[in-house]
Amino acid sequence: MIEEFQLVQVMDQQGQLVQSEYEKDISEELTRTFYRHLIRIRTFDRKAVSLQRQGRIGTYAPFEGQEASQVGSALALQEKDWLFPSYRDHGATMTFGHSLLHILLFWKGRNEGCVPPEGKNIFTPGIPIATQLPHAVGAAFAEKRKGTRNAAIVYFGDGATSEGDFHEGLNLASVWGAPVVFFNQNNQYAISVPMHKQMKTKTIAQKALAYDIPSIRIDGNDIFAVYFETLNALERARNGDGPTLIESVTWRYGAHTTADDPTKYRDQQESESRRKDNDPVDRLTKYMELRGWLDEEWTASVQKECAKEVDLAVDELEAYPAGDPSLIFDYVFATPTWTIQEQKEKLLEQLRGE
């Protein structure tokens, strides 16, 4: 079965194109746009990990190593499309136009962090595994019923494909012909469990066969493969040809979250080896160097601009008005029960020091 889903590459680890037919579509401007977004979200990710270690935000889910999968796919979207992220896809939401401040507010535990910019169809990050897949199918089907050409993309990890919501989502999308792209980032570990311990199938892509959905397995660290194959899947969706499952094979360098210790279940030397040989930013850098599209002055300016933008968002976060912890009780029921009301009053007493 795995022979039917060979890894699709456009650019190899040395930055060489292996599918020359794409060369005409790869301009210097497009490549520089990719590079800027990769640096931007990596800068944000590293800053967020640092903020968590300093106690300035809560538990955080890092994505370093998966940047090409998130940037390449998000840049394939159109303005009115829908984006349904998991808790690790803030790189994709940033690329699609989410506010850095609001992403940080989310990781600070603030309700405001769930609100996307006006006019942006970005769903609240799915914390329970795979619950966002049926939601994405519903939004996509609604667009189909309205007669638009808008599509949806939904992100999830390899562990999500072991959940019932994954199968329900694919089944409904297949039956309804919903214009949705299921974008799996297979970073090969569902928290601490490697892929071979959570499923018998050799690929994620082959799971689409049961639902008569086309699927493809791509090199998730090759931003060109991610971008062009996501464009293809979205175009199928817009043309009324239904859903596609993309398995983007990648790797996260760090922990599942900042509350996790990956050394207990994974050889971290493998992460360092992958960083050295197959880093998504380095691969694009090599391609740009070969084309003569990269110079030190420009890259330094990009890094400086991204760092400044992230630092400004952090300043805005820390100047944000203090939140009201008692709000956590207000939206459990339409009318609070006596037990909820009692808990709220006890919390308020503690906050007042009574």
Catalytic site residue from 252, 253, 283, 287? 252
Catalytic site residue from 40, 135, 217, 256? 256
Query: Within 10 Å of residue 136's Cβ, how many Cβ atoms?
Result: 28
* 256 in active site: yes
Give φ, ψ of 201 to 5 degrees.
Answer: -65, 145
* 37 in active site: no
* 265 in active site: yes
- As a whole number of angstroms, the distance between CA 238 and CA 179 comes to 6
* Residues 169 and 134: beta-carbon distance below 8 Å: yes
Catalytic site residue from 53, 145, 196, 265? 265
User: Which sequence positions are flagged as catalytic?
Assistant: 252, 256, 265
